[in-house]
Copies of this chain bind each other. A is one copy, B any other.
Amino acid sequence: MTINIDQANQKAIDAFMDARPVVVGVAKAKDVIPGMHDKLFLHAGPPVTWARMAGPVRGAMIGAMILEGLAKTAEEAEKRLASGEIEFAPCHQYDSTGPMAGVMSPSMMVYIVENITTGYKAFSGLNEGRGKVLRMGAYSEEVLNRMQWLNTVLGPAVDTALKEMGGIDLRTLLAKALHMGDDGHNRLDAASLLYTNLLAPYIAKNAKDPSVSFEVIKFLGENALSILNPVMAGCKTMTMAGHNIEGSTIVTTMARNGTDWGIRVSGLGDQWFTAPSPIVKALYFAGFTEKDANPDIGDSVITETAGIGGFAMATAPALVTFIGGTPRDAINTTLDMYQITFGEHKHFTIPFLDFRGTPTGVDLRKVVETNMTPRVNTGVAHKDPGVGQVGAGVVSAPMKVFEDALVAFAEKYGI
């Protein structure tokens, strides 16, 4: 079989860049995610069993059980989760992406993000803010009450606003935010402000009660990660547009479940390549150290997969105050990533590098050739269930997943 890898890769990244994700609404997971059912709980990263499941994912699963009314206490929840009555599956296998633990259960409200170029839809939950939150493995009453409020108050208010305004074009919004010091992953200050500003008038106009619009607009505006989840679903629609291209070595999924780090490759279908998840090099919040850290976790590395996040750090120098390092390191990270990517983004550009496009489309071949893996900006969860976020930093993907995938590629295509 003759394959033209470069041609296939170009086709893949063109599809990434031509994708135009629009946030169109908010709805219950089980009403909109194809294949979702009452006993299916999704999680970040590649597949994992209860026995091998990381602390923060266990914590979020416990919270989800209580939220779904399937357990009254953490003990009861754990017992039922361990019993096998709940099916676990990666978000990525259900057109979804979840930050950190990434747990999505059937009755949670999720954003619907449509790539209007192809019609493909992806999904992600509602962002809870920073600190003690379900996605970091916390499940206290305060955490679950906030989740309830998101599901019953904020979610419906945002859905009504999105429907009236005809959705929000995420590609345009992200392109602007990258010119405002965001990396598009760990720093979404500008993007979240842009998002809240677009929504606020429509929330104010349609809320049943001014006190509801007050609370919803304030919550969205004060949460610098309000837009993280729709951005992740948007990036998923970009990379899925370039998935399953025969002969392509472009990575279309990168994801971690806190135990394993996994990738999938355009020309290799839905097969996962996994390796143990590394510890993040991080700035820790007061009172925590690396000993508290769970290994790298979450689907948010879909942003780097699509060409932003750590790959666009050169445009987000202020981020170093949150994740460590110097502005020079931020620039070098982006320059390094050009060495392992196939192209430069048409729509996402970096003013300080003379408006050069962000490094886009991780190429298996280049990762192995240069012996350099993708660098990711990320949050760090406590390793135990029930605690929450302990820091933020930078991590490099394990080389093994790229090597294994390249071997599989060579075998499949007989190179």
Contact = CB atoms under 8 A, between A and B. Distances in A.
Interface stretch (A11-19, A134-142, A199-207, A240-248): A199-207
A239 to B, nearest CB: 26
A355 B326 CA distance: 10
A218 interface: yes
Contacts of A318: 179-180, 351
Interface string A308-345: 00000000011010000011100000000000000000
A207 B217 CA distance: 14
A190 interface: yes
A201 B179 contact: no
Given A207-B210, A351-B318, A351-B320, A189 B200 contact: no
A104 to B, nearest CB: 28
A398 interface: no
A282 B188 CA distance: 32
A198 interface: yes
Interface in A162-182: 176, 179-182
Contacts of A351: 181, 317-318, 320, 327
Contact of A326 (B194, B205, B354): B354
A287 to B, nearest CB: 25
A204 B207 contact: yes
Interface SS majority for chain A: helix
Contacts of A213: 201, 204-205, 210, 213
A217 B201 contact: yes
Contacts of A320: 351
A357 interface: no
Nearest to A205: B214
Nearest to A328: B354
A303 interface: no
A221 B198 contact: yes
Interface string A371-392: 0000000000000000000000
B201 A193 contact: no
A384 to B, nearest CB: 34
Nearest to A349: B318
A215 B317 CA distance: 35
A320 B218 CA distance: 33
A194 B194 CA distance: 9
A196 interface: yes
A263 B201 CA distance: 42
A352 B354 contact: no
B196 A206 contact: no
Contact of A202 (B176, B181, B182, B214): B214
A203 B181 CA distance: 28
A200 B207 CA distance: 14
Nearest to A190: B180
A210 B204 contact: yes
Contacts of A217: 200-201, 204
A193 B210 CA distance: 21
A215 B206 CA distance: 13
A315 to B, nearest CB: 9
15 contacts: A179-B181, A180-B190, A193-B193, A197-B221, A200-B217, A200-B221, A201-B214, A202-B214, A204-B204, A204-B207, A205-B213, A213-B213, A317-B352, A318-B351, A327-B351
Given A201-B217, A202-B214, 15 more contacts: A180-B180, A180-B189, A181-B190, A181-B351, A190-B190, A197-B197, A197-B221, A200-B217, A200-B221, A204-B204, A204-B207, A205-B214, A207-B210, A213-B213, A317-B351
